[in-house]
Structure 1
């Protein structure tokens, strides 16, 4: 197919060899569509997909958008859509991924937080949707006042105090 397109394109630039004195009308340029092969997951696509679930109710142990999400259910559900398999329990993130310094936070990185009752156990997760170091915003399924998938600033005291690490899983 590509060879035929190349030949047709090349032929369109050469005038006809006949001795006809008619005006030569240039042929239409052949449009080729270049298909970009995706080798890495587009981080913005992860966030755009996650935002589809804003307002989905919080449900303990939930991982179904029709019923609700808990934090790890939401994170694993979003990444599964991009063929990235992640643990279903927030506690499993304690030793997972490559840690990222605040100045290197990127959209699509995962924020890992200690629980609000126990500062030694991982208890919450979110996905960075606006990267700006410790002022980043993240999307997560909150069991707090909102009780749904929402976007929150990392700089709020509740989350700054509980921040454990940021990880890159891509």
Structure 2
């Protein structure tokens, strides 16, 4: 039954992405079917859905896959697809949720970063796609050299220096 549910979700996502004028995903990823808890199944589904948008162009102030995404637009779009409301602006994450310890990071948690130029305000967010504490990987809409939805390492100097906190969207 779970295999059918996951396959159906993937087919819906691919069908929605093939509409005229939309940015098509670089490739469809296989949705994991083996999970241990309903929450983990949802977390895995969130990452599989987010990965469908790998390579989608960066577009400031957009949460529209036809145009592209900014960081918070991407996070907002992905979670809205699963009925989870999150802030549309990265600054809205500053006082949201309880900060997790690195040992508590899970796939699907949201990483919150200070701005690139302004170290006093929140300026970037992404979704943990491989949980490993401060060495976790995350998927995000990058305005850096990639200018697209990509996967980066939290442990890289540019992100470690800007890291503010990690929160669980399931505990807000």
Q: What TM-score do you get using the length of structure 1 for normalisation? A: 0.76
Structure 1 consecutive aligned stretches of length 4 or more whose deviation exceeds 2 Å = 38-41
Q: Output one character per residue of 1:3-38: Cα deviation in whole Å (capped at 9) or x when no partner.
A: xxxxxxxxxxxxxxxxxxxxxxxxxxxxxxxxxxx9
- Which residue is 1:81 aligned to? 81
Q: CA deviation at 1:39?
A: 6.1
- Which residue is 1:62 aligned to? 62
- Which residue is 1:146 aligned to? 146
Where do residues 1-170 of structure 1 align in structure 2 (5 Å cutoff)? 40=39, 42-170=42-170
CA distance in 2, matches of 1:169, 1:130: 16
How many residues align? The count is 133
CA distance in 2, matches of 1:97, 1:59: 27
Decide whether the 8 Å contact of 1:46 with 1:79 is kept in 2.
yes
CA distance in 2, matches of 1:76, 1:99: 19
Q: CA deviation at 1:98?
A: 2.2
Q: What TM-score do you get using the length of structure 2 for normalisation? A: 0.75
Q: Output one character per residue of 1:58-92: Cα deviation in whole Å (capped at 9) or x when no partner.
A: 00001011110000000000000110011100001
Which runs of 5 or more structure 1 residues have no equivalent in the other structure?
1-37
Which runs of 5 or more structure 2 residues have no equivalent in the other structure?
1-36
RMSD, aligned α-carbons: 1.2
Partner SS state of residue 127, structure 1? strand
Larger of the two Rg values belongs to structure: 1
Decide whether the 8 Å contact of 1:98 with 1:169 is kept in 2.
no
CA distance in 1, matches of 2:103, 2:38: 25
Q: Output one character per residue of 1:109-133: Cα deviation in whole Å (capped at 9) or x when no partner.
A: 0000000111110000000000000
Partner SS state of residue 123, structure 2? strand
Decide whether the 8 Å contact of 1:126 with 1:138 is kept in 2.
yes
